[in-house]
């Protein structure tokens, strides 16, 4: 399966040149929406702290990948403009300014709101300079017993290379006075300070936990590792005067891709990519504010960074430590009430998954409904004597994946198991390499993705011999085969043994594993060959109907909308009068509500306790609605550089459930944000009756589960034992 080069088209007629939002700034608007959850006083305190941690983690990845990419573009050609008309230099400047605003807001919320409230809730962040003797003594014991022997400083010697520091790791930089004798030794004369100084770096590493508990009579007290070391830093430099000690962190460019044209062995090539990231160029320096000019000049010079790459923080670096606080035991009242995933009402646990799917298609909405049926299907297939083969795409999996274990078990039972493991799944490369090797040793046929493409489709095909012949049971999904994130991400699964979809799925899989052009798919659409044309045809069909006086409507739920060709098609549809409702969680480069361009387009974004991840698309199609689920967002990378699937949902009950789920998101007036024409967002005004889409979906699922259990409940009296 080869990528088709995207043809360049002229600027569409009647469409303004300034019709696109910058992608990077749109993503930062998304992170701003996440950050505002931390300011929402209606949320439990530790949930607000968790959202601060999420925005910090999000910014780290954004810097590593998106800013890293911009830096590389700048080095190649700084004058290239993006679809919004900005040069690379203008984008870097705008991104830096917006990131500064977001980080200032983060620390404002931390220092003025969340930290004081945590202290009131008896989760105390100890200041070692102002603490009890008991805490001070405990801190000294902890430093001497657990830290001093493990963590070591490294003095920077000018004539030697600067040490290779771990990206996103916290370090301390120490400025030391350099003493120079002015008279010969032994004459008792005083020494005077040189205007120069020495520097040393103390990497914290990962051996010692960052959050260290401190003694307290109630609640929980802690100190951060960097604070503990800084408090006792003079112990590392006996006889030296410590002038300054500050915490800092660097971010390295992670937009390091494999040059597949020169990689003879993909696995070896990916291991080299991981090593290249470890040594790649720094692109951001974060440091504790209050650092001297000398300290800042030293660090920025050693890192080769400019002023727009420097971020001073009034508080602890790397707010992801708040994830640990969120998980503290004994503070349940400060967290959301758990929403336990419900059993799927149509599935009888006493029946096999094959019997259940043979009776009807199943559409499962996660995490409101359990992911267990997907795992159970593959586990049953592994030991079922009638199963001949299992074919699956794995993009991301959990650390102790039961699905991978089932696939290896199936191979040991002699089944034909063929798995595409995408080694190029960013930040999961190491885990996927490990899984690939283990599966190969277990006898699984492992294909390492495709040259020049990432295999991102979510599909599993189980081939089973039955009395009527070969039957293919399939799972299509919008999310990964990861039972852990399935409890955190909002996704959709379709379980079916539809023969037409089975025929297409087999042709698709064989086309991928055979590295050939697949047979023409009748029902599925696959990127990079047919998914883009299919989406454009579906949009254009609504446009034609609207121009003919019929009602046209497009409703789509996506993670991102970036592709300019698709956006232009939506603009044309809007100009023709098609009603377009878009639920785009993150990046959206389309401008909604612009007179004469996109007046009938509305864009909302939902930010709530679960990460919205499902891709659901509905076209009115003259009243005979067409519904799809997909692994692909409407981005050039998904449509042109990845292997993706668009899957029709044809079963009547599944369609009703999917359509109802989709429409609930547009009724949200609690956690929905409305996109403005300039790319900013405003929280949707709450009406008299509040509706929170995720709460509504969960409550409805619970109601269905309860009703199903009540229908299935029967009374069985004890009867006397029959006479013998």
Q: Is position 523 annotated as part of the catalytic site?
A: no
Q: Which residues contact 636 (CB under 8 A, 6 or more apart)?
A: 6, 562, 563
1-5 contacts at long range (C-beta below 8 A, 24 or more positions apart): 1/450, 1/453, 1/511, 1/512, 1/515, 1/516, 1/517, 1/518, 1/526, 1/528, 1/529, 1/643, 2/452, 2/517, 2/528, 3/452, 3/453, 3/528, 3/640, 3/641, 4/528, 4/529, 4/640
Phi, psi at 237, each rounded to 5°: -130, 65
Could you tell me the CA-to-CA distances from 297 to 285, 292, 383 in Å, in that order? 12, 8, 64
Strands 170-180 and 154-155: unpaired
- List the alpha helices (DSSP H) in 39-173: 45-62, 68-76, 88-109, 115-120, 133-142
DSSP assignment of 188-240 equals -PPPEEEEEEEEEEEE--SSS-SEEEE--SSSEEEEEHHHHHHHTGGGGSTTS
Find all residues with CB under 8 Å of 264, minimum gap 6, and list them: none
Answer yes or no: are the C-beta atoms of 251 and 167 closer than 8 Å: yes
Q: Helix, strand, or coil here: 545? A: helix
| Cα 382 from chain centroid (whole Å) | 30
Centre a 10 Å sphere on the Cβ of residue 73 and count the other Cβ atoms it contains.
18
182: helix, strand or coil: coil
Mapping DSSP onto H, E and C, the string for 229-275 reads: HHHCHHHHCCCCCEEEEEEEEEEECCCCCCCHHHCCCHHHHHHHHHH
On whether the CB atoms of residues 641 and 565 are closer than 8 A, the answer is no
Neighbours of 56 (CB within 10 A): 22
Q: Which of 432, 255, 325, 347 is nearest to 110 (CA)?
A: 325
Count other C-beta atoms under 10 Å from residue 306's C-beta: 11
Q: Are 361 and 494 in contact (CB under 8 A)?
A: yes
Token reading at 186: 């032994």
d(CA 515, CA 182) in angstroms, rounded, equals 75
**Residues 456, 475, 621, 718: which is the catalytic one?**
456
Residue 252 tokens read as 């390295």
CA distance 607 to 24: 19
How many whole angstroms separate alpha carbon 353 and alpha carbon 370? 14
Tokens of 170: 């916290």
Percent helix, percent strand, percent coil in the chain, to nearest 5: 40, 25, 40
Q: How many residues does the chain have?
A: 724
Query: What angle do helix axes 531-547 and 564-576 make, rounded to 10 degrees?
Result: 10
Strands 579-584, 123-125: pairing is unpaired
Tell me which residues are annotated as active site: 456
């Amino acid at each position: 399966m080869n990528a088709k080069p995207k043809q360049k088209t002229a600027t569409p007629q009647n469409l303004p040149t300034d019709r696109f939002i910058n992608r990077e700034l749109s993503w930062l608007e998304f992170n701003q929406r996440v950050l505002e959850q931390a300011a929402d006083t209606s949320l439990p305190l530790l949930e607000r702290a968790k959202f601060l941690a999420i925005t910090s983690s999000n910014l780290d990845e954004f810097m590593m990948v998106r800013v890293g990419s911009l830096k590389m573009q700048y080095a190649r050609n700084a004058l290239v403009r993006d679809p919004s008309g900005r040069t690379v230099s203008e984008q870097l400047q705008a991104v830096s300014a917006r990131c500064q605003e977001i980080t200032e807001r983060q620390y404002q919320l931390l220092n003025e709101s969340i930290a004081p409230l945590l202290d009131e809730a008896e989760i105390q962040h100890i200041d070692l300079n102002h603490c009890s003797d008991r805490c001070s003594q405990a801190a000294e014991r902890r430093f001497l017993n657990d830290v001093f022997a493990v963590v070591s400083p490294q003095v920077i010697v000018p004539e030697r290379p600067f040490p290779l520091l771990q990206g996103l790791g916290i370090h301390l930089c120490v400025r030391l006075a350099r003493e120079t004798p002015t008279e010969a030794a032994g004459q008792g004369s005083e020494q005077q300070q040189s205007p120069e100084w020495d520097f040393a770096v103390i990497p914290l590493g990962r051996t010692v936990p960052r959050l260290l508990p401190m003694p307290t009579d109630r609640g929980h007290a802690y100190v951060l590792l960097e604070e503990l070391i800084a408090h006792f830093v003079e112990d590392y430099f006996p006889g030296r005067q410590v002038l300054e000690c500050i915490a800092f962190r660097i971010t390295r460019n992670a937009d390091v891709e494999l040059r597949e044209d020169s990689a003879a062995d993909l696995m070896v090539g990916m291991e080299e990519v991981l090593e290249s990231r470890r040594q790649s160029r720094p692109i951001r320096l974060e440091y504790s504010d209050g650092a001297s000019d000398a300290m800042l000049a030293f660090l920025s010079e050693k890192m080769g960074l400019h002023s727009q790459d420097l971020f001073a923080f009034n508080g602890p670096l790397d707010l992801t430590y708040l994830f640990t606080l969120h998980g503290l035991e004994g503070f349940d009242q400060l967290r959301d009430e758990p929403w336990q995933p419900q059993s799927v009402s149509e599935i009888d646990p006493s029946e096999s998954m094959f019997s259940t799917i043979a009776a009807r298609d199943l559409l499962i909405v996660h995490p409101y409904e359990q992911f267990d049926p997907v795992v159970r299907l593959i586990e049953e297939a592994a030991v079922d004597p009638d199963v001949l083969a299992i074919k699956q795409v794995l993009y991301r999996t959990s650390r102790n994946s039961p699905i991978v274990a089932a696939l290896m078990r199936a191979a040991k039972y002699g089944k034909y198991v063929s798995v595409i493991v995408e080694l190029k799944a960013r930040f999961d490369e190491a885990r996927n390499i490990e899984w690939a090797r283990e599966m190969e040793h277990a006898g699984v046929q492992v294909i390492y993705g495709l040259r020049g493409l990432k295999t991102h489709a979510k599909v599993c095909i189980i081939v089973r011999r039955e009395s009527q012949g070969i039957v293919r049971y399939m799972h299509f999904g919008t999310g990964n085969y990861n039972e852990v994130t399935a409890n955190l991400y909002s996704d959709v699964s379709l379980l079916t043994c539809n023969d037409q979809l089975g025929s297409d799925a087999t042709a698709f899989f064989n086309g991928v594993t055979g590295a050939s052009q697949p047979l023409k798919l009748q029902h599925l659409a696959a990127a990079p060959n047919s998914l883009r044309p299919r989406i454009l045809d579906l949009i254009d069909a609504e446009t034609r109907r609207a121009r003919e006086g019929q009602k046209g409507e497009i409703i789509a739920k996506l993670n991102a909308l970036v592709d300019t060709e698709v956006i232009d098609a939506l603009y044309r549809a809007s100009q023709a009068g098609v009603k377009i409702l878009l639920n785009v969680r993150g990046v959206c480069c389309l401008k909604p509500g612009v007179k004469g361009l996109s007046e009938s387009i509305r864009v909302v974004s939902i930010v709530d306790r679960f990460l919205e991840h499902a891709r659901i698309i509905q076209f009115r199609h003259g009243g005979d609605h067409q519904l799809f689920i997909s692994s692909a967002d409407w981005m050039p990378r998904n449509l042109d550089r990845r292997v993706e699937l668009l899957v029709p949902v044809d079963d009547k009950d599944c369609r009703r459930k999917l359509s109802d789920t989709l429409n609930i998101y547009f009724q949200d007036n609690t956690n929905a944000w409305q996109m403005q024409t300039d790319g900013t967002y405003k929280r949707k005004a709450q009406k008299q009756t509040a509706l929170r889409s995720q709460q509504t979906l969960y409550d409805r699922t619970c109601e269905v589960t309860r009703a199903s259990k009540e229908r299935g409940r029967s009374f069985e009296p004890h009867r006397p034992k029959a006479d013998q």
